[in-house]
Amino acid sequence: MTLYPVFLKLDGLPVVVVGGGPVAASKLEGLLVAGARVTVIAPQVVDAIRAHESVAILETEFCPAHLHGARWVVAAATPDVNRDVAVAAAARGLFVNAVDEPANASAYLGGVVRRGEVEISISTGGTAPALAGLLREALDAILPHELEKWIAVAAVARREWRRDGIAMAERRPMLMRALDRLYRPKAQVPS
């Protein structure tokens, strides 16, 4: 199966997480950092979920009506509940990430490396999440720590290129030269 990789703008959008255990809790940080308005639905929730004051909690069994208005769904409950969530989400045209259950998922989350504005996601199509985690750790170890500087240089350059009408094909070599200047020693000023 070939997947289409995408990053979602969830800022201010309603997201439903079905499940109240540690797996559901582990999904909250990324959603909240992205600015999502998260509602957790489960008969019981762990303290790690309650610790997030901005998360709405409905302590009840899942029903399809809970997805009304949602833009993204995470199913992190039992296989039976996740299957019900997947059916309800499909009926509403919603993508659902069913944690560790590819058969109940229409969207898969990859291992993610974040350095400021740089985000790299690694997917195995839901078939080998542990491998995605290992690859994420390997990439994290080899990526330069000064990616924030790279972003700043690239953002300034992009504004200039757009202003000056520089063709896309010419931009990469120009960006490589601009980034190279970050690593050149500063010229010595004679005393």
Kind of pairing, strands 111-115 and 118-122?
antiparallel
Boundaries of every domain in the chain: 14-109, 147-183
What is residue 130's predicted lDDT score, i.e. its pLDDT?
85
What is the rounded (10 degree) CA torsion for 79, 74, 61, 59? 130
pLDDT of 6? 87
pTM: 0.80
Q: Are 63 and 39 in contact (CB under 8 A)?
A: no
CATH superfamily placement of domain 14-109: NAD(P)-binding Rossmann-like Domain (3.40.50.720)
- Low pLDDT (below 50) residues in the chain: none
DSSP annotation string for 77-110:
S-HHHHHHHHHHHHHTT--EEETT-GGG-SS---
- Rounded Cα distance, 28 and 33, in Å: 8
Distance between start and end Cα atoms, the chain: 65
User: Which one-letter amino acid corresponds to residue 92?
Assistant: R
